[in-house]
Amino acid sequence: MKQKIIEIPIYGGRLILIRDINFEKANRKYGLDIEDHLNACACGGPSKSKNFKRDYFIVIKEEYISMPILAHEALHVTNFIFLDRGVTATLEVDEHQAILMEWIIKQAEEFYKS
C-alpha cells in the first residue's frame, strides 16, 4: 500500500490518497469498510490527528488508476467537504467547488502518476 497525506487548505482536514492491489490494508489501517468488488472509493472518516477535523480518502486499486476515476472520486470528496462545512454549491454558484475539486485532482494526479 502506498499513501500520501496532505493538509487541505482553507477547509481543513486531511486528504489521504491510497493506491494498492486491494482495499484490505487501507480498511485495516484507517478503520474503513470499502468493499473489495469496487475499483475505487472516496470516503470520509474521523481524523487520527488532533490537528485536523476529518480525514477524506481516495483509495484506488492499482489497475484502475485513470484521470476519469480521479475526477469521479474528487467530486465525491469535494461534496463531503462541503457537506461537513455547511457550504452550499449550486449550478449557478459553483466556483468554490470547482477550485477545490481542481486542487484535489492536482494532488491526486501527482501521487497516482508516481
Q: Left, alpha or beta for 12 (phi > 0: left; psi -120 to 50: alpha)?
A: left
Q: Is the pLDDT of residue 2 over 90?
A: yes
Looking at the chain, the whole-number percentage of residues with pLDDT higher than 70 is 94
Which residues on adjacent β-strands are paired with residue 17?
Answer: 4, 58
User: 100 is written with which cell numbers?
Assistant: 477545490
pLDDT tens, 54-108? 899 999 999 999 999 999 999 999 999 999 888 988 889 899 999 999 999 999 9
pLDDT at 47: 64
User: Cα–Cα distance between 110 and 54 in angstroms, integer?
Assistant: 22
Domain ranges of the chain: 2-113
* Residues 22 and 4 sit within 8 Å (Cβ to Cβ): no
